[in-house]
Amino acid sequence: MKTDGQSKLKRTLSGGGFAVTAECGPPRGADASVIRKKGETLKGCVDAVNVTDNQTAVVRMSSLAACLHLIDIGVEPVMQMVTRDRNRIALQSDIMGAYSLGIRNLLCLSGDHQSLGSQPEAMNVFDIDSLNLVHAVRVMRDEGKDMSGFSLIGAPEMFIGAAENPFADPLSYRVVRLAKKIDAGVDFIQTQCVYNLPRFKEWMRQAREEGLTEKVYIMAGITPLKSTRMAQFMAAKVAGMDIPQEVIDRMSAFTGQRAIEEGMNIALETIAAVKSIPGVRGIHIMAIEAEERVPELVKAAGLSQRPAK
């Protein structure tokens, strides 16, 4: 296991390149082949792959372990960490362990509430929030100190990310929150998936106005729709999702394979659109249980040759 080396994702972004990341979820069990297979699918077409942390509060193989499987097959992971299940002691501990094993990118999140997940009887933790986590990791990296001020024997030099949702309520506050995350130490942001371009453009405009796009790499979230039903479900049930009626209408004109193609078309148009917005430095493809679509999407968008040299 290599422990050297900077994050390739960081290198791409800091070198001025347009980065592409994707996402995959570990299996609900100990079967490593599931994650390794997903990794093989994504290998070579993205700069890094996010590995979720008990996403939607459903118990899965740990993000840290799944990240190691990806490293093992030559894929660079972004380890996601939620503050729902682990206190500061465990979080810092896992970050140090992760770095020692070659993990270089960390995405800090609060996490979906356990009442929505597979074991709602569990006690939650929420000892610290995602901003506290970002701050702690930055101090660990830049000052070599843990949260008690102890000088670490080996500082984990993580490339620090966070999520942001330009479509969540309250809109007025979203840019304030982005600024706060940057001040706390965020290096890169991955947004919730973009369908509502005008609103996304407005959020980017406000971010630019505040000088934030100079301080953080913003990557726009992209999720190809597969059917009208998927679009309607996401619009109605997923918190913070904004799918304009015209997008749903476009999808409802097709069924089956034609719908999947239309979904890809919409995704490609969105990618082209966000690429041209100043301040957008990459895309983050969240192809939910459809990782096999990612390579063709990346290729059709003209974003192949990953990781960029």
What residues form DSSP beta bridges with 160? 106
Report the distance separating Cα 173 and Cα 51, nearest Å: 28
Residue of the chain from 14, 62, 132, 265 that contacts other proteins (CB under 8 A): 132
What is the H or E stretch that residue 222 is in? strand 217-222
Instruction: Give me the 181-200 binding string for other proteins, x by CB under 8 A, dash otherwise.
Output: --xx-------x--------
Of 51, 97, 95, 106, nearest to 73 by C-alpha is: 51
Determine, following the binding rule CB under 8 A, whether residue 110 of this chain makes contact with other proteins: yes
Q: 3-class DSSP state for residue 24?
A: strand
Closer by beta carbon to other proteins, 14 or else 56: 56
Determine, following the binding rule CB under 8 A, whether residue 240 of this chain makes contact with other proteins: yes
How is residue 102 annotated by DSSP?
T
Binding range to other proteins, per CB under 8 A, among 7-15, 61-69, 162-170, 249-257: 162-170
Residue of the chain from 111, 263, 282, 295 that contacts other proteins (CB under 8 A): 111
| Shortest spacing between CB 120 and other proteins, in angstroms | 10
| Shortest spacing between CB 160 and other proteins, in angstroms | 15
Determine, following the binding rule CB under 8 A, whether residue 135 of this chain makes contact with other proteins: yes
Residue of the chain from 31, 169, 214, 292 that contacts other proteins (CB under 8 A): 169
Determine, following the binding rule CB under 8 A, whether residue 227 of this chain makes contact with other proteins: no
Determine, following the binding rule CB under 8 A, whether residue 168 of this chain makes contact with other proteins: yes
Determine, following the binding rule CB under 8 A, whether residue 84 of this chain makes contact with other proteins: yes
Report the distance separating Cα 30 and Cα 211, nearest Å: 45
Determine, following the binding rule CB under 8 A, whether residue 43 of this chain makes contact with other proteins: no
Residue of the chain from 101, 122, 155, 179 that contacts other proteins (CB under 8 A): 179
Residue of the chain from 51, 136, 218, 283 that contacts other proteins (CB under 8 A): 136
How is residue 49 annotated by DSSP?
E
Residue of the chain from 28, 113, 229, 299 that contacts other proteins (CB under 8 A): 113
| Contact by Cβ (8 Å): 160, 183 | no
Determine, following the binding rule CB under 8 A, whether residue 284 of this chain makes contact with other proteins: no
Determine, following the binding rule CB under 8 A, whether residue 50 of this chain makes contact with other proteins: no
| Shortest spacing between CB 132 and other proteins, in angstroms | 4
Closer by beta carbon to other proteins, 138 or else 205: 138
In the complex, the residues that contact other proteins under the rule CB under 8 A are: 83-84, 88, 110-113, 115-116, 124, 126-132, 135-136, 147, 163-165, 168-170, 173, 176-177, 179-180, 183-184, 192, 239-240
